[in-house]
């Protein structure tokens, strides 16, 4: 063990350790997972900070993810360019937010962003409708979706502006004490 | 949820007891003996089936000629306008009066609000049992009623376990399954062995009196039955305390799953004691290990098979709505009995039957049936709990059954508390390396303190064969003391302890539609993230199970009309209905207040 790795320079590793909640070992482990996604695209030498992005199609075409309704949204939220093309930094960020050390507010913020389809910093009715349809795989009729959305608004919309702001969302999350443990992945 | 009684029922109980001498010598049967004579016809046996059950043939026969005599005297005396048909109605009458007594005691108990918040109901019930036992002892010089193992294992325990298993929050249960299984298996084994060896060591040292004629095998047997956490006691005490759901599910799940371990250990050591300690070899130990796997996995399998049968049956009950609850009760009970039949773990079978069937059955049956099932199960479980605790109290007063040895009692108490604490700490340390949310010190304290022993241990010790286990009477007394100590002392003190430690309590929040949505969304999100990283973690497997369920199981077990509707919609309906009902309740309540003011 020790400093024998040649993937990153020492400063890079330190920088990563500062920005994320991970230790050296975990960062290296995550790097190897990142590389496993596309071995031909990702170089083994990151010391010169290559501009490597994994295109969205790579993630979107993974067989495990094909049934998952949120795959596109996740990639979009955690990618710098918002298109779903992930750099290593984005990858590390994603897991950092979901790790046990990340504070609840940070997690709530990212969860909020995932629901916010039109990226206007509010979860409006349309966003809710889209979420619901994704969750129920379009099994519900329009009326039913509308009724559920209304109920959601009724429960969560504190300032009564017809859409959920980040504060409304956090208020809902605070009332569910298990949120911190649910929105969590262990690497 | 459960109401609890208080003891001031001397008058009615005296009335009942006075009735007995009136009926004459022929009818001095205990409740359970008459039941046994009925059950003898079923040819019931099995490992939880006690020797006590098999003997009734003789007592039954004795009764017959005497009853015939009485009837003969009735016929011989000419036409009587009113006759005293006590022998005819005796058994159901006594049972009903006992149930009535218990239920009335519950009402009395709740008259004093201050009392109920301090003293848990189980304590009051045991005290009431002690009082009643004392009365019976005084009136009759011997104990007429006691907690017969047959009655307990065939009727009382399945009611409580069935209720618990059917309404177990399955998501929470499976999330914590690793912890639960570890505590149930490793924890119980640790407790059993350590207690047994230490008691034996203490006996060799001479702290336990010479009168207690027990060898290592006997202590191992005793250790096995005294070390299991008891589901009845845990429910009774924990439901008053309202700790947070995770803690409760771990302790309660442990108390259910350790049944397999207890059953196997008990059987294995019984056979060792019978065979004689000299003849125990490695073959026997291997058989024990295999037996454990068979008993636990077999019991689970039986339960799951019945769950599938139950769910499948309820798929077709649309035209016979009125008997839907009957299917639920019968099949869950049959799961228990079938496992008992094959000497597998009956508690495991019933628990998994309930857990497995719940999702599909609740979706298939009508709203009215759901309500019926829920309230009938809860009522029956409540009654069973009450009877168990009262009879525990009564049985304690039966001096003929036990013998006292201070050394044994004191050492057992110390050891079980000590080893429980050590076991919990050790296992939690291991567990926390794997758990998402670690269990902290306070959780560990509550878990150690919540390791209550109860009626199962008592029933098992009474089942021991007095010929083979010479120290049986000492063991019985020790078990009684241990059970009383845990249920009463620990039950009384756990509430203040929980408050003092500031244990996070269950908030009893109403589920909101937001949470339902977020829970589902997060599941998908986290599964996706895991898949991106190529991790095969918890979410990955849970998602795979959900897909399997959606594609095959739900198609098979759910009614067509239900299958096509998403779960989210069902959840929304439930929440809507609950909110509507609560609004009506509020409005209705206000109207009633207005009316009463006018009057």
pLDDT in tens, chain A (187 residues): 455 677 788 888 888 888 887 888 888 888 888 888 888 888 887 777 778 888 888 777 777 777 788 888 888 888 888 788 888 888 888 888 888 788 888 888 888 888 888 888 888 888 888 888 888 877 788 888 888 888 888 888 888 888 888 888 888 877 776 776 777 777 7
Q: How far is CA B68 from CA A106, B19, B64, B507, in A?
A: 83, 21, 6, 61
B512/A64 Cβ within 8 A: no
In terms of DSSP H, where are the helices of chain A? 10-19, 24-37, 56-60, 71-78, 88-98, 104-115, 125-136, 142-156, 166-174, 179-182
Specify burial of residue B461 (Cβ count, 10 A radius: 0-12, 13-18, 19+).
buried
pLDDT in tens, chain B (599 residues): 333 333 334 344 444 444 443 333 333 334 444 444 434 333 333 334 333 333 333 333 334 444 444 444 445 567 888 888 888 888 888 888 888 888 888 888 888 777 777 788 888 888 888 888 888 778 776 666 677 788 889 999 999 999 988 988 888 898 889 899 999 999 999 999 999 999 888 888 877 777 777 778 888 888 988 988 999 889 888 888 888 888 889 999 999 998 888 888 888 888 877 777 666 677 777 888 888 889 889 999 999 999 999 999 998 888 888 899 999 999 999 999 999 999 898 999 999 999 999 888 988 888 889 999 999 999 999 888 888 888 888 888 877 777 788 888 888 899 999 999 999 999 999 998 887 778 888 889 999 998 899 888 988 888 888 777 788 888 888 898 899 888 888 888 888 888 888 888 877 667 778 877 888 888 888 888 888 877 777 788 888 888 888 888 888 888 877 777 777 777 888 888 888 888 888 877 676 666 655 54
DSSP state of A122: S
- Ramachandran region, residue A49 (left: φ > 0; alpha: ψ -120 to 50; beta: rest): left
- How far is residue B252's CA from residue B163's CA, in Å, rounded to a whole number? 13
CB atoms within 10 A of CB B180: 22
A111/B532 Cβ within 8 A: no
- How far is residue A90's CA from residue A77's CA, in Å, rounded to a whole number? 9
- How far is residue A80's CA from residue A92's CA, in Å, rounded to a whole number? 12
Q: Supply φ then ψ for residue A164, to 5 degrees.
A: -95, 125
Q: Does A158 touch chain B (CB under 8 A)?
A: no
At residue A25, the pLDDT reads 86
Cβ(B183)–Cβ(B254) under 8 Å? yes
Question: How many CA atoms lie less than 13 Å away from B238 in the CB half-sphere?
Answer: 30
A111/B522 Cβ within 8 A: yes
Cβ(B434)–Cβ(B178) under 8 Å? yes
- How far is residue B456's CA from residue B160's CA, in Å, rounded to a whole number? 12
- How far is residue B250's CA from residue B593's CA, in Å, rounded to a whole number? 43
Radius of gyration of chain B (CA): 26
- Ramachandran region, residue A40 (left: φ > 0; alpha: ψ -120 to 50; beta: rest): alpha
At residue A20, the pLDDT reads 82
- Chosen for mutation from A28, A31, A35, A71 (greatest number of chain B CBs closer than 10 Å) is A71
At residue B593, the pLDDT reads 60
Specify burial of residue B406 (Cβ count, 10 A radius: 0-12, 13-18, 19+).
exposed
Interacting residues of B570 by C-beta distance below 8 A, sequence separation 6+: B363, B562
- How far is residue A178's CA from residue B237's CA, in Å, rounded to a whole number? 25
B575/A151 Cβ within 8 A: yes
- How far is residue B465's CA from residue B274's CA, in Å, rounded to a whole number? 10
Interacting residues of B447 by C-beta distance below 8 A, sequence separation 6+: B183, B247, B250, B251, B424, B428, B439
Q: How far is CA B131 from CA B40, B116, B126, B136, in A?
A: 32, 19, 9, 9
At residue B87, the pLDDT reads 86
- How far is residue B456's CA from residue B232's CA, in Å, rounded to a whole number? 8
At residue B64, the pLDDT reads 41
At residue B348, the pLDDT reads 92
Q: Does A21 touch chain B (CB under 8 A)?
A: no
- How far is residue B91's CA from residue B178's CA, in Å, rounded to a whole number? 46
Radius of gyration of chain A (CA): 19
Chain B CB contacts of A88 below 8 Å: none
DSSP state of A101: T
B528/A70 Cβ within 8 A: yes
- How far is residue B256's CA from residue B103's CA, in Å, rounded to a whole number? 27
Q: Does A150 touch chain B (CB under 8 A)?
A: no
Interacting residues of B301 by C-beta distance below 8 A, sequence separation 6+: none
Cβ(B453)–Cβ(B225) under 8 Å? no
Interface confidence (ipTM) of the complex: 0.85
- How far is residue B424's CA from residue B449's CA, in Å, rounded to a whole number? 10
Which residue is listed with tokens 């029922």?
B9
- How far is residue B64's CA from residue B400's CA, in Å, rounded to a whole number? 28
Cβ(B28)–Cβ(B146) under 8 Å? no
- How far is residue B179's CA from residue B250's CA, in Å, rounded to a whole number? 7
At residue B594, the pLDDT reads 60
- How far is residue B272's CA from residue B277's CA, in Å, rounded to a whole number? 6
At residue B339, the pLDDT reads 93
- How far is residue B134's CA from residue B132's CA, in Å, rounded to a whole number? 5
Q: B243 forms bridges with which residues in the sheet?
A: B505
- Smallest Cβ–Cβ distance between B436 and the set A135, A173, A186 belongs to A186
Q: How far is CA A74 from CA A59, B109, B521, B522, in A?
A: 10, 57, 11, 11
- Smallest Cβ–Cβ distance between B524 and the set A30, A69, A187 belongs to A69
Which residue is listed with tokens 């060896």?
B197
B512/A131 Cβ within 8 A: no
Q: Supply φ then ψ for residue B328, to 5 degrees.
A: -60, -50
- Smallest Cβ–Cβ distance between B569 and the set A74, A140, A179 belongs to A140
Which residue is listed with tokens 């990283």?
B533
């Amino acid at each position: 063990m020790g400093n024998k790795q040649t993937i990153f320079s020492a400063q890079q590793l330190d920088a990563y350790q500062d920005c994320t909640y991970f230790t050296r070992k975990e960062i290296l482990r995550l790097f190897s997972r990142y590389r496993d996604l596309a071995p031909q695209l990702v170089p083994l030498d990151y010391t010169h900070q290559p501009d490597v992005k994994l295109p969205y199609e790579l993630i979107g075409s993974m067989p495990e993810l094909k049934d998952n309704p949120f795959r596109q949204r996740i990639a979009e939220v955690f990618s710098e360019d918002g298109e779903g093309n992930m750099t290593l930094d984005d990858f590390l960020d994603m897991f950092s937010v979901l790790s046990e050390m990340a504070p609840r507010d940070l997690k709530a913020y990212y969860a909020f962003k995932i629901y916010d389809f039109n990226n206007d910093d509010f979860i409006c009715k349309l966003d809710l409708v889209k979420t619901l349809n994704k969750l129920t795989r379009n099994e519900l009729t329009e009326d039913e979706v509308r009724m559920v959305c209304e109920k959601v608004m009724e429960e969560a919309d504190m300032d009564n502006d017809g859409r959920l702001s980040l504060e409304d969302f956090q208020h809902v999350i605070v009332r569910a004490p298990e949120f911190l443990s649910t929105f969590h992945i262990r690497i | 949820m459960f109401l609890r009684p208080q003891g001031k029922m001397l008058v009615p109980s005296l009335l009942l007891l006075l009735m007995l001498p009136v009926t004459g010598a022929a009818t001095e049967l205990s409740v359970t003996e008459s039941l046994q004579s009925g059950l003898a016809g079923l040819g019931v046996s099995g490992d939880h089936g006690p020797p006590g059950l098999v003997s009734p043939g003789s007592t039954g026969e004795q009764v017959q000629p005497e009853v015939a005599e009485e009837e003969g005297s009735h016929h011989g005396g000419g036409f009587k306008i009113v006759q005293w048909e006590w022998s005819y109605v005796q058994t159901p009458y006594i049972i009903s009066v006992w149930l009535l007594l218990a239920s009335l005691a519950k009402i009395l108990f709740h008259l004093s609000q201050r009392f109920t918040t301090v003293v848990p109901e189980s304590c009051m019930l045991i005290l009431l049992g002690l009082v009643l036992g004392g009365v019976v002892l005084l009136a009759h010089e011997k104990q007429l009623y006691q907690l017969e193992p047959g009655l307990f294992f065939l009727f009382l325990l399945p009611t409580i376990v069935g209720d618990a298993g059917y309404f177990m929050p399955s998501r929470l249960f499976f999330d914590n399954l690793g912890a639960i299984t570890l505590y149930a298996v490793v924890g119980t084994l640790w407790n059993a062995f350590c207690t047994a060896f230490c008691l034996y060591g203490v006996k060799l040292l001479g702290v336990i009196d010479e009168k207690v004629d027990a060898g290592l095998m006997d202590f191992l047997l005793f250790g096995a039955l005294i070390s299991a956490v008891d589901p009845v006691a845990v429910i009774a005490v924990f439901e008053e305390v309202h700790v947070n759901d995770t803690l409760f599910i771990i302790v309660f799940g442990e108390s259910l799953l350790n049944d397999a371990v207890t059953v196997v250990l008990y059987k294995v050591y019984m056979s060792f004691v019978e065979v004689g300690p000299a003849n125990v070899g490695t073959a026997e130990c291997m058989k024990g290990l295999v037996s454990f796997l068979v008993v636990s996995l077999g019991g689970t399998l039986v339960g799951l098979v019945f769950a599938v049968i139950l769910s499948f049956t309820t798929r077709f009950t649309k035209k016979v709505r009125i008997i839907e609850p009957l299917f639920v009760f019968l099949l869950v009970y049959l799961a228990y009995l079938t496992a008992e039949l094959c000497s597998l773990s009956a508690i495991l079978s019933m628990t998994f039957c309930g857990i497995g069937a719940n999702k599909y059955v609740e979706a298939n049956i009508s709203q009215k049936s759901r309500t019926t099932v829920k309230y009938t199960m809860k009522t029956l479980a409540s009654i069973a709990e009450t009877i168990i605790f009262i009879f525990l109290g009564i049985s304690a007063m039966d001096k003929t059954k036990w013998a006292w040895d201070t050394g044994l009692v004191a050492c057992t108490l110390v050891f079980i508390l000590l080893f429980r604490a050590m076991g919990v700490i050790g296992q939690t340390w291991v567990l926390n390396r794997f758990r998402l949310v670690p269990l902290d010190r306070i959780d560990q304290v509550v878990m150690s303190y919540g390791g209550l022993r109860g009626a199962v241990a008592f029933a098992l010790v009474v089942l021991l064969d007095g010929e083979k286990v010479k120290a049986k009477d000492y063991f019985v007394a020790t078990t009684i003391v241990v059970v009383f100590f845990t249920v009463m002392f620990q039950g009384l003190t756990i509430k203040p302890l929980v408050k003092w430690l500031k244990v996070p309590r269950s908030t009893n929040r109403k589920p909101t539609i937001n949470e339902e949505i977020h829970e589902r969304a997060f599941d998908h999100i986290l599964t996706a993230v895991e898949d991106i990283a190529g991790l095969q973690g918890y979410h990955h497997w849970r998602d795979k199970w959900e897909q399997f369920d959606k594609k095959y199981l739900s198609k098979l077990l759910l009614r067509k009309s239900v299958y096509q509707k998403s779960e989210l919609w069902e959840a929304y309906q439930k929440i809507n209905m609950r909110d509507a009902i609560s609004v009506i309740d509020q409005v209705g309540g206000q109207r009633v207040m207005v009316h009463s003011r006018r009057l």
